[in-house]
């Protein structure tokens, strides 16, 4: 069995992790090495030396802000964009120069790309034209059962909800049993409640079908909820790759710390496993020395009402399950998240207490 190479920028989690990391298959499915794409002379490359590997059945999210190169990377893997440099291998076979239809990769488009003149069953059967009629029909019905749309085969796409259309698109892709499915912002056309429900359905369906998938998204919550691992992309480069737990708890840079969740970035002077900061001496999650920037998550800070406190609440947002506070101390404004319990009013004086290990950044 081929093992995932250690040279592609991630560490496989231990069999039993105290952080509950999702288990990653060890057999290599896809290897991307040194992928580069440059569109206009004089501009920075859209994708610059992107390398990663993923396992059979794994769900990987490419996460980053608009224009960071994640969709271009996905399109190069799918064969819709030609790389200027680099290699793409699927199950050990070099597919870098193959057209999309010869790669054996499924693609779910942002707008689902369903045929409006065909009913649901015919849409799902569309990619099965190489099978006999009876076999194609049986396979299409099997896929509709898999995605929970049995009995809706005679409907047209416009007669379905957005979430149902998404499942039809996925059923059509999975019908040809691709080892890898590419999803480009697949939930962007859904409302917030439907997005949460549909992404969990999609995760279950992909796992049940045994297909690996690469999801492109700029939505951090979506990536954390859906993916086994996340590759964070900044300005065309993969800056960190790991499980959702690893990325959130141990960001390697201020960009990752601020993009995955929210972070307060504070200066400090590190000495091994501690750092001196404006909030006193704080324990670090990993060793560091000298001047450092430190990521402090809003939920790691406790607010203590104190009429003589050095800080003041300057903003508050009630969000039901928690409350978000903006707290001013001198020239620094800190973001704090607390439970929905006792409310602290805007204008009230407080003290800030950091109650957990904090992360020194590269």
Distance of CA 203 to the CA centre of its chain: 12
Tens of pLDDT, residues 247-267: 999 999 999 999 998 899 999
CB 203 within 8 A of CB 61: no
Most confidently modeled range among 58-62, 110-114, 120-124, 171-175 = 58-62
Mean pLDDT over 138-146 rounds to 86
pLDDT in tens, 316-357: 999 888 899 999 998 889 999 998 877 899 999 999 999 889
What would the mean pLDDT of 73-92 be, rounded to a whole number?
A: 95
Report, as an integer, the average pLDDT of 136-154. 85
Q: Are 38 and 69 in contact (CB under 8 A)?
A: no
pLDDT tens for 179-219 read 999 998 877 777 777 778 777 888 888 888 888 999 999 88
Cβ–Cβ under 8 Å, residues 284 and 359: yes
Highest mean pLDDT out of 22-36, 56-70, 153-167: 56-70
Sheet holding 105-108, edge to edge: 105-108, 180-184, 212-217, 59-63, 229-234, 237-242
CA triplet 220, 179, 19: central angle to 5 degrees? 40
Report the pLDDT value the prediction gives residue 36, as an integer from 0 to 100. 95
Tokens 């710390």 appear where? 257
Asked if residue 81 lies in contact with residue 75, where contact means CB atoms within 8 angstroms, the answer is yes
Query: What confidence tens digit (pLDDT) does each residue in 280-291 have?
Result: 899 999 999 999
Region for residue 162 given its phi and psi (left: phi exceeds 0; alpha: psi -120 to 50; beta: otherwise): alpha
Q: Is the pLDDT of residue 3 over 50?
A: no
- pLDDT for 24 equals 52
Phi/psi for 75 (5° steps) reads -65, -35
pTM of the model: 0.81
Distance from C-alpha of 223 to C-alpha of 216, rounded to nearest angstrom: 9
Tell me: pLDDT of 151 over 60: yes
pLDDT confidence band for 42 (50 / 70 / 90): low
């Amino acid at each position: 069995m081929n093992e995932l190479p250690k040279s592609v920028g991630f560490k496989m989690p231990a069999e039993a992790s105290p952080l509950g990391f999702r288990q990653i298959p060890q057999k290599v499915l896809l290897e991307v090495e040194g992928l580069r794409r440059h569109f206009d002379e004089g501009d920075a490359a859209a994708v610059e030396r992107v390398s990663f590997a993923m396992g059979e059945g794994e769900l990987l999210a490419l996460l980053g802000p608009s224009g960071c190169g994640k969709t271009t990377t996905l399109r190069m893997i799918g064969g819709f964009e030609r790389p200027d440099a680099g290699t793409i291998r699927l199950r050990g076979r070099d597919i870098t120069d193959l057209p999309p239809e010869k790669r054996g990769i499924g693609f779910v488009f942002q707008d689902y790309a369903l045929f409006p003149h065909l009913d649901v069953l015919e849409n799902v059967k569309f990619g099965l034209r190489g099978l006999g009629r009876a076999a194609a029909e049986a396979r299409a019905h099997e896929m509709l059962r898999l995605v929970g749309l049995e009995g809706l085969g005679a409907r047209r796409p416009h007669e379905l909800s957005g979430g149902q259309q998404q499942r039809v698109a996925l059923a059509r892709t999975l019908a040809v049993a691709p080892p890898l499915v590419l999803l480009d912002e697949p939930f962007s056309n859904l409302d917030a409640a439907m997005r949460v429900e549909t992404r969990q359905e999609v995760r279950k369906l992909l796992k049940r079908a045994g297909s690996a998938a690469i999801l492109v998204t700029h939505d951090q919550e979506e990536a954390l909820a859906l993916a086994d691992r996340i590759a964070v992309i900044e300005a065309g480069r993969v800056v960190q790759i790991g499980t959702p737990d690893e990325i959130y708890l141990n960001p390697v840079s201020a960009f990752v710390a601020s993009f995955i969740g929210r972070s307060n970035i504070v200066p400090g002077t590190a000495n091994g496993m501690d750092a001196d900061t404006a909030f006193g001496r704080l324990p670090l999650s990993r060793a560091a020395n000298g001047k450092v920037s430190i990521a402090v998550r809003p939920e790691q800070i406790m607010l203590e009402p104190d009429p003589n406190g050095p800080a003041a609440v300057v903003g508050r947002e009630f969000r039901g399950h928690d409350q978000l506070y903006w707290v001013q101390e001198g020239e620094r404004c800190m973001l704090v998240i607390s439970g929905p319990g006792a409310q602290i009013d805007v204008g009230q004086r407080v003290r800030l207490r950091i109650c957990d290990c904090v992360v020194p950044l590269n």
